[in-house]
Chain A
Amino acid sequence: MTVGAPLIRLTGISKTYPAAELSLRGTKLVTQGPALWAKQLARAARLTAVSGEPVRALTDVTLAVYPGEVFGLIGPNGSGKTTLVKIVAGLLRPSTGTGEVAGVDLAQAAIIRRRVSYVSTTGWMGLEWALTAEENVRFFGLLCGMSPALARQRTLAALGDVGLVADGRKAVSELSNGMRQRVILARALLLRTPIVLLDEPTVGLDPVHRRQMLELVGETLPKRGQTVIIVDHQADAIEGIARRAAIMKDGRLVGVGTPAELLESLSGLKVVELISRGGAQPETLPPRPVRAVEQVLRPGPLGLTQWHLTVEERPDALEAALGWVLSGGGEILQVAEHAPHLADLLAAQAPDEQEAG
Chain B
Amino acid sequence: MASSVSEQQGRHPEGALVREARTLWAFAVREYRIWQSYRVNQLMWLVNIFVTTLLFFLMGLMVKGKAAALIGGAYGTNYMSFIVVAIALSTFLYTNLSDPYTRIARSYYNGTMDLLLLSPMSIFTPLFGFMTKSILDDYPRLLIVGAFGVFLFGAVFRFQHILAALGFTALALAAAFGIGMISASSFYLLNIKRGTEPVRFIVQQLLATLLAGAYYPVTVLPKPLQWIACLIPHTYVFDALRRLMDPGARLTVPVLPIQQVLPWSPLVVDAVALSAMTLILLPLGFVLYGQGIEKARRNGTLTRWQ
Contact = CB atoms under 8 A, between A and B. Distances in A.
Interface string A171-189: 0010011000000000000
A48 to B, nearest CB: 9
Contacts, number: 21
A129 B304 contact: yes
Contacts of A338: none
A191 B173 CA distance: 56
Interface string A159-177: 0000000000000010011
Interface string A113-144: 00000000000000001000000000000000
- Indicate the member of A23, A26, A177 with the most B CB atoms within 10 Å: A23
Instruction: Give the size range of A's interface with the partner.
Output: 10 to 19
B38 interface: yes
Interface in B26-49: 34, 36-40
Contact of B39 (A46, A129, A176, A177): A46
Q: Please classify the interface of chain A as helix (H, G, I), strand (E, B), loop, or mixed, using the class held by over half of its residues.
A: loop
Contacts of B160: none
Nearest to A45: B39
Interface in A1-31: 23-26
B253 to A, nearest CB: 49
Contacts of A23: 37-40
B304 A173 contact: yes
A24 B37 contact: yes
Interface string B45-77: 000000000000000000000000000000000
Given A25-B38, A26-B37, 17 more contacts: A23-B37, A23-B38, A23-B39, A23-B40, A24-B36, A24-B39, A25-B34, A25-B37, A42-B40, A45-B39, A46-B39, A47-B39, A47-B40, A129-B304, A173-B304, A176-B306, A177-B306
21 contacts: A23-B37, A23-B38, A23-B39, A23-B40, A24-B36, A24-B37, A24-B38, A24-B39, A25-B34, A25-B37, A25-B38, A26-B37, A42-B40, A45-B39, A46-B39, A47-B39, A47-B40, A129-B304, A173-B304, A176-B306, A177-B306
Interface of A: 23-26, 42, 45-47, 129, 173, 176-177
Q: Pick the 6 closest A-B CB pairs, nearest first.
A: A24-B37, A25-B37, A47-B39, A25-B38, A47-B40, A177-B306
